[in-house]
Amino acid sequence: MADDHVHVLNCSTAENYTLSTCDGVGALEIFRNKYLAIHGYLATLICIAGVLGNVANIVVFTRPKMATSPVNHLLMMVAVADLTLVTVYLVQAIAFYIIYHEPEKEPLYLYTEGPANLLYFCTSFVVVCHAIAIWHTIAVAAFRWMTLAMPNGKFYCTLKNARICTLVLVIANCLVSITNWYTQHVGVTEVSNCHFCNQTFYTVMGREGIQFNNWLFAVFGKILPCTLLMILTILLLIIMHRAEVKRQQLLSKGKSEESRRHQEHNRTTGMLLTVVVIFLLIELPHGIYIIIMGYEPGLMVYYSNLGELIDIVTLIAFSINFILYSVMSRQFRTTFFSLFCKKTVQQQAINFRRLSAVVTNAKNHLPHRRSSQPLSNSTTNNSLHYRCEEKYNKNYLHPSASPLLSGSCEDRTLTTSICSDNHSGNGVAL
């Protein structure tokens, strides 16, 4: 997240900018003023999607079958941190980029002290959530690597150790973030430009003469996590390559079952690796730029004008994990659908029972035609018909395999034709 949101006030129209000092800065200011008109609404949509996705992640990872895995526990904590972050930023986006937003005014400059205190809480608390999510992502990659690479990896990577790791990471990040809470404060600034004449605003700003927090944030919040993520990414790629080579060897020897298990392990590792790489691509450029700003303070103006855009990219990264899990993990998909689509599946089973009852009732009330066949053959036909229906129910009344039935006439025809095909010996699989 962009953490220093102190921006220079400018006029809202491009004609009022003077680009004589630095054309690049002026162009960024023009871009930012145009983008601010949509930032609040765009951030709100992304945050709502992030809230829904992360709530779904938490619900799935807390199911009994999923909660026993230490890696799933760490992924659940990532989802908790992501959920908290996007919720807090949702409040910030609605309050300061929609409700209090004025086209001619800097959105983070407030007329009263109350909203400024809310802004101070949001910007500071978001930093804590961001750090907790990043370090838990590192823990996910580390646990996966130890499980696959170390001989006693499974002995160390237990659910108990995962919970201890969570406790340590939360406490450590809260302690490190104290400096950020202290160095930031609500201050008063006076603005005079083409729209305002000596207007006083409240905003969040850094304390004078305190620079160590920037270096602390750059090292422990960006550079060190990115370095660890790069190392773990390389290690996981090596493990995936070795696993793929072994899988091909097993497949060539005809051991398809063992090959399939190796493929499933590789898919899980690939999913976790994707989550790690996305964090790395977002955090590494941000951390490098913060380090450069420590040596060149004049670059802060570029960073300030790109603050909202950095926020949007980070929000997207914190909101897409649900999509990644759903696409790349069959177990996650199965658990999710069993939880959130259970009523739909049960209703389909009820519809089929009703349809089966209608078909059976219609069969019983049909007028009996004269037949040259003996009565025993008719009895045999009815017996075969009922056995067909019993077999059909046995396969499809289970909620996990229930077909989409609406009880229409077409469905009745379909059921009758299936039974007829079985009776005639066509071998239709049910």
Say which amino acid occupies 156. Y
pLDDT digits (tens, 9 = 90+) for 151-172: 887 888 899 999 999 999 999 9
Q: Who's near 326: CB < 8 A, 6+ residues apart?
A: 332, 333, 336
C-alpha–C-alpha distance, residues 318 and 312, integer Å: 10
And the tokens for 409? 């006439």
Task: Please give the single-letter amino acid code of residue 306.
Answer: L
Q: How many CB atoms neighbour CB 86 within 10 A?
A: 26
The string of DSSP letters for 291-305 reads HHHHH-GGGHHHHHH
Quick check: 237 pLDDT over 90?
no
- pLDDT by residue (tens digit) across 363-392? 666 555 544 444 444 444 454 444 444 444
Q: For the residues 10-20, what does the mean pLDDT come to? A: 39
Report the 10 Å Cβ neighbour count for 150: 12
**Residue among 329, 203, 324, 340 nearest 266 (CA):** 329
- pLDDT bucket at 1, cuts 50 / 70 / 90: low
Total-model pTM: 0.71
- Positive or negative CA dihedral for 152, 155, 157, 162? negative
Q: What percent of the chain lies above the pLDDT cut of 90?
A: 24
State the pLDDT confidence band at 306, using cuts at 50, 70 and 90.
confident
- CA geometry: angle at 412 spanning 406 and 417, to 5°? 130
Q: Are 280 and 229 in contact (CB under 8 A)?
A: yes
CA-wise closest residue to 311 among 104, 72, 44, 27: 44
Count of residues making up the chain: 430
Q: Are 312 and 43 in contact (CB under 8 A)?
A: yes
Q: What is the pLDDT of residues 28-64, one digit of tens each?
A: 888 888 888 899 999 999 999 999 999 999 999 999 8
Q: What is the mean pLDDT of residues 327-346?
A: 78
95 or 154, greater pLDDT: 95
In sequence order, what are the residues at sequence separation of 6 or more whose Cβ sits closer than 8 angstroms to the Cβ of residue 298? none
Other residues' Cβ atoms within 10 Å of the Cβ of residue 128? 21
Q: Please tell me what DSSP assigns to residue 200.
A: E
Confidence grade of residue 135 (pLDDT, cut at 50, 70, 90):
very high
**pLDDT digits 0-9 by tens, 195-207:** 666 778 888 887 7
Q: For residues 345 and 328, give the distance between their C-alpha atoms in angstroms, rounded to a whole number.
A: 23
Q: Does position 113 have pLDDT exceeding 70, yes or no?
A: yes
Pick from 321, 312, 141, 150: nearest CA to 225: 141
H helical segments located in 62-157: 64-67, 70-94, 113-149, 153-156
Confidence at 89, pLDDT banded by 50, 70, 90: very high
What would the two tokens of residue 344 be? 């739909």
Residue 143: pLDDT band with limits 50, 70, 90: very high
Q: Which residues pair with 205 in a beta bridge?
A: 185
Question: Bridge partners of 184?
Answer: 206
pLDDT at 21 over 50: no
